[in-house]
Amino acid sequence: MSDRPDPGSRRSPHLASRLQGLGTTIFAEMSALAEATGSVNLGQGFPDTDGPPEVAEAAVLAIRSGRNQYPPGAGIPELRLAVAEHRLRFYGQALDSDTEVLVTAGATEALTAALLALCETGDEVIVAEPYYDSYPAAAARAGARLRAVPLRPPSWDLDLDALADAVTPRTRLVLVNSPHNPTGRVLRDRELAAIAEICVRHDLLAVTDEVYEHLVYDGRHRPLALYPGMAERTLSVSSAGKTFSFTGWKVGWACGPAPLVAAVRTVKQFLTYVNGAPFQPAVAVALGMPDGYFAAAAAALRQQRDRLCTGLEGLGFGVCLPEAGYFALGDAAPLGVGDAARFCRELPGRVGVVAIPVSAFSEQRPDVASFVRFAFCKRLEVLDEALGRLAGLQGPPAGSPGMTAAPTGPVER
């Protein structure tokens, strides 16, 4: 977002040099813009309805029954057990909940602590690009360097030749996000197998980001840890936020071999020590929900995905139907847009909708410059309102009168 006064892009006189340029996250920036302009916020990925009432009640009960002091550093035993049972139930992965599971402040802390714990200064971390915005920030803090391997539009397949070429003597680990934000891709078996083969051949570690593991609409999620040779070298990270629609609770976890978990725990204890005491028992309840809950959550989001994607296609965007997650990418090139960053900056003023340019998830990549990320984890009427407003792109320009207030949900932003 270049030619606008932007606190995020200015050099800060006080910020350490290794963190210069990180600025304000695109999600915070765009949610603030949505609020300021009364726009429908299809930017930051948070649902506008709450998760299961019985899970919310479990948190209320935990607060009322005094579970409000520091929990154990690794997380409460019942949640660690629930995480281990969840991995066994869905993936057949057996874990010792005492030594192989660590509760964290969301997936973000787990991923950051992992990079801090596992990387020496100057180490390289291979990652598919576009990538989630906390990865470069975590790498910068660890003094590590990201080596990006492109996911190429329109299929967003992983470039396996580039993956093989990305390995250097400094490569320490591969950071794998599947299901993927922002593309909505679920890595194929051949892609995961190629990653696993490279990790084993070069004796690399893997850290996975599986926060969208249950929100899969086409295909299926298969953890990298299940591939041959990977269980002993993979730290798997996930979180309750997306699966249970409680993104603000920030309860996540890392699991895998005890030595990897212990290394991450060492760092984690000096980042937050612990978090979310009353939310931890509630997430334990959530992880034990019947299969029907997980299927229904995905089915509801699939309907939202379809509503948004059909609408965007009708408006002329090039849409690649996401297989998973919260987000759909629209190529605005057919609308004559070459610079999605500029387009997204102008969109709130023009029609009252906020979305995120895919360029926010990548370095200079001309092939992704016209792509826009829209969140579909919103009620159908909110998606319809957004689509109605986007239809105005074809009509009268910026700030025209008659714009209605954005529908707001029970979750205040």
Residue ranges that bind ligand PMP, judged by CB under 6 A:
45, 106-108, 132, 177, 181, 209, 211, 239, 241, 247, 250, 252
Q: Residue 279 binds what, of ligand PMP, ligand GLN, none (CB under 5 to 8 Å, by partner type)? A: none
Count Cβ atoms within 10 A of the Cβ of residue 405 and give its class: 0-12 exposed, 13-18 middle, 19 or more buried: exposed
Burial 38-69 (b: 16+ CB within 10 A, else e): ebbbbbbbbbbeebbeebbebbeebeeeebee
User: Judged by CB, which is closer to ligand GLN: 36, or 398?
Assistant: 36
Q: How many residues bind ligand GLN (CB under 6 A)?
A: 5
Out of 33, 40, 41, 45, point to the residue binding ligand GLN (CB under 6 A): 45
User: Judged by CB, which is closer to ligand PMP: 31, or 239?
Assistant: 239
Closest C-alpha among 380, 242, 359, 357 to residue 309: 380
Compute how many other C-beta atoms are within 10 angstroms of the C-beta atom of residue 396.
11
- What H or E segment, with its residue span, contains residue 140? helix 134-142
Distance, CA of 307 to CA of 150 (rounded, Å)? 29
Question: DSSP secondary-structure letter at 3?
Answer: S
Q: Residue 37 binds what, of ligand PMP, ligand GLN, none (CB under 5 to 8 Å, by partner type)? A: none
State the binding string over 203-242 for ligand GLN (x if CB under 6 A, else -). Answer: ----------------------------------------
Locate the DSSP E strands across 160-268. 171-177, 205-209, 234-239, 252-255
Q: Which residues contact 245 (CB under 8 A, 6 or more apart)?
A: 47, 49, 50, 51, 297, 377
Tokens of 289: 């929900």
**Cis peptide leading into residue 179 (ω within 30°):** yes
User: Judged by CB, which is closer to ligand GLN: 29, or 124?
Assistant: 29
φ, ψ (nearest 5 deg) of residue 66: 85, 25
User: Judged by CB, which is closer to ligand PMP: 132, or 294?
Assistant: 132
Region 134-193 residues binding ligand GLN, contact defined as CB under 6 A: 181
Residue 24 in contact with ligand GLN, rule: CB under 6 A: no
- Provide the CA 290 distance to its chain's centre, in angstroms: 24
User: Judged by CB, which is closer to ligand PMP: 47, or 278?
Assistant: 47
Closest C-alpha among 180, 182, 228 to residue 208: 180
Q: Which residues contact 13 (CB under 8 A, 6 or more apart)?
A: none
- Rounded to the nearest whole angstrom, what is the least distance from the CB of residue 262 to ligand PMP in the complex? 21
Q: Residue 90 binds what, of ligand PMP, ligand GLN, none (CB under 5 to 8 Å, by partner type)? A: none
User: Judged by CB, which is closer to ligand PMP: 135, or 227?
Assistant: 135
User: Judged by CB, which is closer to ligand PMP: 150, or 252?
Assistant: 252
- Rounded to the nearest whole angstrom, what is the least distance from the CB of residue 46 to ligand GLN in the complex? 7
Dihedral sign for Cα atoms in the order 292, 297, 300, 303: negative
Q: Residue 75 binds what, of ligand GLN, ligand PMP, none (CB under 5 to 8 Å, by partner type)? A: none
Question: DSSP secondary-structure letter at 247?
Answer: G
Q: Residue 241 binds what, of ligand PMP, ligand GLN, none (CB under 5 to 8 Å, by partner type)? A: ligand PMP
Distance, CA of 6 to CA of 18 (rounded, Å)? 20
User: Judged by CB, which is closer to ligand PMP: 64, or 413?
Assistant: 413
- Rounded to the nearest whole angstrom, what is the least distance from the CB of residue 331 to ligand GLN in the complex? 19
Q: Residue 27 binds what, of ligand PMP, ligand GLN, none (CB under 5 to 8 Å, by partner type)? A: ligand GLN
- Rounded to the nearest whole angstrom, what is the least distance from the CB of residue 263 to ligand GLN in the complex? 24
User: Judged by CB, which is closer to ligand PMP: 177, or 370?
Assistant: 177
- Rounded to the nearest whole angstrom, what is the least distance from the CB of residue 360 to ligand GLN in the complex? 10
Out of 39, 44, 104, 183, point to the residue binding ligand GLN (CB under 6 A): 44
What residues make contact with ligand GLN under the rule CB under 6 A?
A: 25, 27, 44-45, 181
